[in-house]
Amino acid sequence: MPTQILRSEPLTSNTQIEYFNQFFNAFEIKDYTNQTSGVVLIDIEPEILHNKWILIKSIFKKSSNTDIKICFAQPYEALGWYSNQDTWEKIITLAKQFKFPLDRLMYISGDLRYTPTNTEFDKIKHLGVNLFEIVTEHRYTNKFTASNTNKTKKLLCLNFRPREHRKAVQYLLEKHNLIESNYCSFQKSTISPLTVKKFTGTEIDAELLLPHKIIPNDKQWPNGITHQSHTWYDDTVFSLVTETCVKQEVLFLTEKIYKPIMYGHPFVLFGNPGSLKYLQSKGYQTFPELFDESYDTIQDPVERLNKIIKICNTVDVQNYTPSVLSKLKHNQNLFFSKENSRVELQKLKEFLSQTA
């Protein structure tokens, strides 16, 4: 019999836990108060975690002498130990304080490649789920298929949050004269001498300003988050996708890669190594006839990015071949079939139903 799923607080439709709700609305969930068994769900997204520590302490205290398990859910931009070490050290310390066994802790994240940490974190049962393949279709309501002829620009590169690796992308695209002639969006930011040296080997004396770049038909925050223009995809040969994380220890995919798949657009993916291999394992087809996809095997993100920039410089395509068109259609059909989403949801159900 499946384990009873227990909630630690009301589930709402707040933006921060949009993804949390997408998963758990499939379950019958009861309040955890006065229960002695089951799995208590706690959402620990970074944006709201600062309000949760009192609740977490209370649940540890009330549950330590029961059979209850605690499942920390962080499927949104969740990279586990490698990006949230301080959080997990605090959770583990609290568990010990209240004598709550670590093997009764569970963790749902977006990390699809669990790399052991050689710490007590490894005692916690972990499940990586590909939540963004499920929610992308719901988030972007304007559905279309990109035109496959008469391309006037090479690439589309959409960015909002200026993470270090995206700043490096902007710097290198600018350096290679690939910004103004293409569709590239970036927030205004600065890039440090350390980042420039790390990604290019070039020495600079002070921070450089990276200007705000906006493309036609774009919208400002927050409407821009869910807005996509068919013109961006019609006019460009491929999407240069800058994922949330490029670390080699994790594998984390978001709506950023599923947008070109949904809209029928080839892609080059600057994310974690092995990202293309993962997509292929899920049935998606990539585009070695257009791009040298050996970049996917390069572990070092600096080397991987420079390989990708070289690809962006050399691609020269105006119209897609029948082979490319077939792959684009296949990928769209697979995405909208929701076959992979059903598999992910089943993984989640099985994980939460563990009794041992």
Kind of pairing, strands 39-43 and 29-31?
unpaired
Predicted pLDDT at 33: 76
Q: Residue 156 is encoded by which pair of tokens? A: 């589309």
Q: Which helix (H) or strand (E) holds 109?
A: strand 105-109
CA distances from 353 to 86, 99, 105, 273, 349 (A): 29, 23, 13, 32, 6
Task: Transcribe 31-87 into DSSP letters.
Answer: E-TT--SSEEEEE--HHHHTTTHHHHHHHHHHHTTSS-EEEEEE-SS--GGGT-HHH
Predicted pLDDT at 163: 92
Predicted pLDDT at 10: 55
Q: Minimal CA–CA distance to 317: which of 289, 338, 347?
A: 289
Predicted pLDDT at 188: 92
Predicted pLDDT at 242: 97
CB proximity list for 118: less than 8 A, separation 6 or greater: none
Answer CATH for 139-337 from 2.40.420, 3.40.50, 1.10.3470, 2.60.120: 3.40.50
Predicted pLDDT at 15: 37
Intervals of CATH 3.40.50 along the chain = 139-337
Rounded to an integer, what distance in angstroms lies between the CA atom of residue 302 and that of residue 85? 23
CA 295 to chain centre: 19
CA distances from 201 to 34, 38, 123 (A): 60, 53, 40
Predicted pLDDT at 293: 98
Predicted pLDDT at 221: 64
Rounded to an integer, what distance in angstroms lies between the CA atom of residue 169 and that of residue 22? 32
Q: Minimal CA–CA distance to 169: which of 304, 260, 77?
A: 304
Task: Going from the first residue of the chain to its last (356 residues), give the mean pLDDT of each consecutive group of 10, the final group possibly shorter.
Answer: 62 45 60 81 80 91 91 77 89 96 92 92 93 82 85 93 94 95 94 93 91 85 74 95 94 94 97 98 97 97 96 87 96 94 86 69
Burial class (CB within 10 angstroms; exposed 0-12, middle 13-18, buried 19+) of 124: buried
Rounded to an integer, what distance in angstroms lies between the CA atom of residue 349 and that of residue 147? 39
Residue located via tokens 């520590």: 53
**Distance in angstroms between the alpha carbons of the first and the last residue of the chain:** 13
